Amino acid sequence: MQKRFDFISTLASLVGAAVGAAIVALCHICINMTTVEGKCVWTGLFFSVIFLCGFIGMQISFAFKKKYKIHQRLFLNILLAILAAGLMFLSGAQGQYLFMQDTETVETVTEIEGEADPVDMVILLDSSSSMIDFEQGRNQAACAFVDTLSEETRLRVVSFASVLEGASSDDLIKMTDKNKDIVKDFINNSGLVGLTNFNLPLSDAFTCLENNARDDAKKAVILLTDGEAGIDDTIYDDYVDSDISLYSIRISAQSDPSILAKKLIDLAEDTGGFDRHLKPNSQGNVDTDEMIDAFREIFEAQTSTSTSTTTKKVMNDDLLPFSEDEISKKQTTIRAVVIIICACLAYIGYFGKLSVLDIIVSIIGGIVYAIVAKYADGAGMIVAFIFYILLAGTAFVTIELNGADEYDV
């Protein structure tokens, strides 16, 4: 018997999968995608409907082949396809639920009776050009925070990028109403220019507090940035050896900190401070209230309070098939595993079997899909649809021509 590749049936399965993709895209509009349940249902449909429509396309192509008799166990094939589609739906929905799971550190601040210690503080505001999308929120949050300070608090605000610009001289100033207005006016009028440089502002803040802070005051530095930069070991050691606490407020779309960001986080923790990570939403913005809360948490940590930290589970907004935001290594792994499972199920659904070669192809396809979807950015949705249509919607149909002119599928 002679084996031959059947282009028409394979093409029909691709056309069917493309129709399924259009249905899934329409469901993205119809389903409430603001809820966890809606996202899970849609992701399940993404994986199952595209495959099932590809299978239907393949079966329709067989009906138009008049020259040959189709030899297949139709009922069993349909049953396997429905079972595979159902398992794809469950895999996609469960994978989506795991994909959205994240953890959040929550601090409970308990006030200690007695008079609060005075605080001397330096606020370092990133004014590099990359802060353009966050400038308004940064200014509003910093000004709102300044308004909450009492006269006993002394403050210096520095705008930094490639160069430094301070709201006052090198000294710390009491937060009287008049001085608050001066500081807020400086914050609102500081421009954006240059690249991020941490060494200059950190060195300036350290010198200011070492030379001018009160003996009985708690000393703190707050650094707000959306960038990454190196920190000299000398500056790192100076902070660790001093009684100055560093607090970082990082704006970053990346869930996993880079090496440079990790060093800033380590410096904050080694000085008795902590790091706050603010992740922009899908529009690339950060909620101003989140920035204000970050400032307040830091200030409360410097007053006479007791702080306990707990970790709780939260749900993010990312979609498993594609995401506009940076995702973590855990999410990339979940995406790859779900794709591999669905690709293997597609082989079973189409042909009723799964060979070692099929498994290898599924693993390679899942890994490539996860990597491509991770770096597709704004074209992520289109890339996801095209890639999955090719991966799970392609039935590589071969026929064996025997003496009776039959298709053995």
Q: What does the pLDDT average to over 143-171? A: 80
Could you give the CA distance from residue 320 to residue 44 in angstroms, rounded to a whole number? 10
**H or E element: which one contains 315?**
strand 305-315
pLDDT digits (tens, 9 = 90+) for 361-372: 889 988 988 888
Q: Report the distance separating Cα 263 and Cα 243, nearest Å.
A: 19
Q: Give the integer Cα–Cα distance in Å for 38 and 42.
A: 6
Quick check: 108 pLDDT over 50?
yes
pLDDT of 409 reads 42
Confidence of residue 270 (pLDDT cuts 50, 70, 90): very high
What pLDDT is stored for residue 327 in this prediction? 80
DSSP 132: G
pLDDT band at 405 (very low <50, low <70, confident <90, very high): very low
Number of separate helices (H) and strands (E) present in the chain: 12, 13
Per-residue pLDDT tens digits for 366-400: 898 888 887 776 566 777 788 788 877 787 776 55
Instruction: Give 73's pLDDT tier (boundaries 50, 70, 90).
Output: confident
> Of 298, 305, 380, 384, nearest to 342 (Cα)?
384
What does 269-301 look like in DSSP terms, one character per residue?
A: HHTT--EEEE---TTS---HHHHHHHHHHHHHH
Is the predicted pLDDT of residue 71 greater than 80, yes or no? no
Range with top average pLDDT, 107-116, 261-270, 366-375, 390-399:
261-270
Give the separation between CA 73 and CA 10, rounded to whole angstroms: 19
Structural domain boundaries of the chain? 2-101+319-408, 115-303
Q: Quote the pLDDT of residue 116.
A: 60
Q: Please compute the mean of the pLDDT values over residues 231-242 and round it to a whole number.
A: 93
> Do the Cβ atoms of 347 and 360 come closer than 8 Å?
no
DSSP state at residue 393: S
Handedness of CA 16, 17, 20, 26 (dihedral sign): negative
Stretch among 110-114, 199-203, 327-331, 391-395 having the lowest mean pLDDT = 110-114
On whether the CB atoms of residues 167 and 190 are closer than 8 A, the answer is: no
Q: What is the mean pLDDT of the chain?
A: 82
What is the percent of the chain where pLDDT is above 70? 83
Of residues 293 and 398, more confidently modeled = 293
Q: What is the pLDDT of residues 38-68, one digit of tens each?
A: 999 999 999 999 999 999 998 888 877 665 5
Question: Do the beta carbons of residue 48 and residue 30 sit within 8 Å?
Answer: no
| Joined tokens for residue 85 | 């589609």
Q: What pLDDT does residue 170 have?
A: 63
What pTM was estimated for this model as a whole? 0.53
CATH architecture of the domain formed by 115-303: 3-Layer(aba) Sandwich (3.40)
Higher pLDDT, 120 or 108: 120
**Of 98-112, 154-168, 277-291, 367-381, which range is least confident?**
98-112
Whole-number pLDDT of residue 166: 62
Work out the angle at residue 382's Cα, subtended by the Cα atoms of residues 46 and 9, and round it to the nearest 5 degrees.
65
Q: Which are the contacts of 323, defined by CB distance < 8 A and separation ≥ 6?
A: 331, 373, 380
